[in-house]
Structure 1
Amino acid sequence: MRVSRNAMGTLFVGGALSLTLAALVYPSLLGVRTVSAAASRVIADTQWGPLTEGDRDFVVKVRAAGLWEHPVARMGVEKGTDRRVVTAGRTLVDGHAALDTTVRKIAPLLDITLPNLASPQQTGFVSRLTTDSKGEQFDRDFANILRQTDGSFFTTVAQIRSTTKNTLVRALAEQADHIFMNHIAALEQTGLVDIDQVLAQQTTAPDLPDSDLTPPPGIAGQQLAVLTPPPNPSASPVDIDRIAGSEDGVTSAPGNGKK
């Protein structure tokens, strides 16, 4: 049976996207394994409960996810040609801005240093979508890349929510659970997600060097980049001051365990 040039091109592009996504989504899958392996190792005793290595890594991963997904979501609003892609982009901008506000609130309370840059692999997502021309290819890549990564990270969120004993980390996980579920729904509602491909790649991770999966370490005391919310945000940050138990959010010095 002869295959047309157009069909061959579609198969080639689809295959290339499949390989690229399988490589790029790996950080989220690694995160699931990291949390599982380190969940019981306490690195600090804080007034809000013990802080494990998995808890700390989760806070850092939420920050890193926002550092690349927030600009990509803004790109979706600006470059999307399908109105449903534009809507999904707005949903992600809104959610990540709210999550990042919560992360920047709890990090100093738990003595966690946050990154200011995404990992090399996450930066690869941004580069991929930046080079896509405005049109159908960008819309499809946007929907599939973000659906795959958010679906993978969603399992990390559930893992932390079910295991953490730290009140502040639990509050962040509950917020992330709600927001990432909204993101997944918005991306699927574009009608552009190849769900079979996405689900297959979420469970198949290639071997990649740790250096590609880890955001450059943050510098203590550095000014953190702020993820700007949309003009009329619908997602709200967690009221950390109330949860922490005082008006200024600090009732005593948090634990000083080495992190």
Structure 2
Amino acid sequence: MGTLFVGGALTLTLGALAYPSMLGLDTVSTSTDRIITNTQWGPLTEGDRDFVVKVRAAGLWEYPLGQIGLQKGTSKAVLTASQHLIDGHALLDDTCRKIAPMLNITIPNVASPQQEGFVTQLKGETGAQFDTDFANILRMTHGSIFNTVAKIRSTTKNSLVRALADQANDTVLDHITVMEKTGLVDFNSTIFQQTTAPKLPKSDLTPPAPVPGQPQVVLTPPPNATSTPVDVNAITGENSQAPK
């Protein structure tokens, strides 16, 4: 796959909605605004569906990377940023796992090869190199998705997706902020990477569909989480039957 920072610096079926081909970057239709189903919480578009998948996939690599950061980070700021990754993505994942079956969306159990590649890279680093690449990779990836969150929040007509976008907006902004507070972000390189990232094969950008019958991966929030969960029951007005 190759790293983005040189030199270490990185588709409605009766069963379920078809698995998105590329996390919203390349969908079944040429328009992410195409309505693929109508739900009691509002119409669901391709973009809405892909957004839920994208948020789930993000947590599947950033949550464990937060755990790694707590073990390998050498500064208080990197340790704080790592804790925010764990807290924020655990609660985003809780929302994804609740609303996905309500909206008949299939969500992955594993992140994309590109995302897993970031984890592999950072697992192999230590000391100042780890801290620097950790901050820059995560600032770049969060910066890349920030505009997507804003677009979904401003255009979706589905109340469940809107709630997830609200939560994601707060979480992504928080994570951008804590990465910047490390003092390690190279803004020129990071912004260049997030705006002119190289085109990768679809296979690198697509998280694999979950294996039928495989237990769903759960990102458990810590007891002292700094993020606020979404009250899905308050939105639906009924008890959710989604898995906890």
Contact 2:58-2:111 at 8 Å conserved across structures: yes
Q: Per-residue CA shift, 1:144-179, capped at 9, x if unaligned? A: 000000110111111111111111000000000001
Map of 2:204 onto structure 1: 212
How far apart, in 2, do the equivalents of 1:39 and 1:69 lie?
Answer: 25
- 1:105 is aligned, of 98, 120, 126, to 98
TM-score, with structure 1 as normaliser: 0.82
Map of 2:88 onto structure 1: 95
Amino acid aligned to 1:52: T
- 1:185 is aligned, of 177, 180, 185, to 177
- 1:168 is aligned, of 140, 147, 160, to 160
How far apart, in 2, do the equivalents of 1:228 and 1:37 lie?
Answer: 36
SS in 2 for 1:100: helix
How far apart, in 2, do the equivalents of 1:207 and 1:234 lie?
Answer: 35
Map of 1:25 onto structure 2: none
Residue 219 of structure 1 deviates from its aligned partner by 4.2
Structure 2: segments with no counterpart, 5+ residues: 11-21
- 1:157 is aligned, of 149, 155, 159, to 149
**1:1-259 matches, cutoff 5 A:** 15-17=6-8, 20=10, 33-34=25-26, 37-133=30-126, 135-219=127-211, 222-246=214-238, 248-249=239-240
After superposition, the Cα gap between the structure-2 partners of 1:221 and 1:240, relative to the gap in structure 1 and judged at 3 Å, is farther
Map of 1:3 onto structure 2: none
TM-score, with structure 2 as normaliser: 0.87
SS in 2 for 1:115: coil
Aligned Cα root-mean-square deviation (Å): 1.8
How far apart, in 1, do the equivalents of 2:37 and 2:103 lie?
Answer: 8
Q: Per-residue CA shift, 1:111-147, capped at 9, x if unaligned? A: 01110001111110110000112x1000001000000
Contact 2:53-2:107 at 8 Å conserved across structures: yes
Amino acid aligned to 2:157: K
After superposition, the Cα gap between the structure-2 partners of 1:205 and 1:169, relative to the gap in structure 1 and judged at 3 Å, is same
When the two structures are aligned, how many residues end up with a matched partner?
A: 225
SS in 2 for 1:76: helix
How far apart, in 2, do the equivalents of 1:117 and 1:70 lie?
Answer: 12
Q: Which of the two has higher C-alpha Rg?
A: 1
Residue 185 of structure 1 deviates from its aligned partner by 0.3
Amino acid aligned to 1:185: T
Q: Per-residue CA shift, 1:213-258, capped at 9, x if unaligned? A: 0000124564211112123112122101110121x137xxxxxxxx
How far apart, in 2, do the equivalents of 1:195 and 1:129 lie?
Answer: 19
SS in 2 for 1:212: helix
Amino acid aligned to 1:231: P
Contact 1:95-1:235 at 8 Å conserved across structures: yes
- Which of the pair is proportionally richer in helix? 1
How far apart, in 2, do the equivalents of 1:186 and 1:157 lie?
Answer: 18
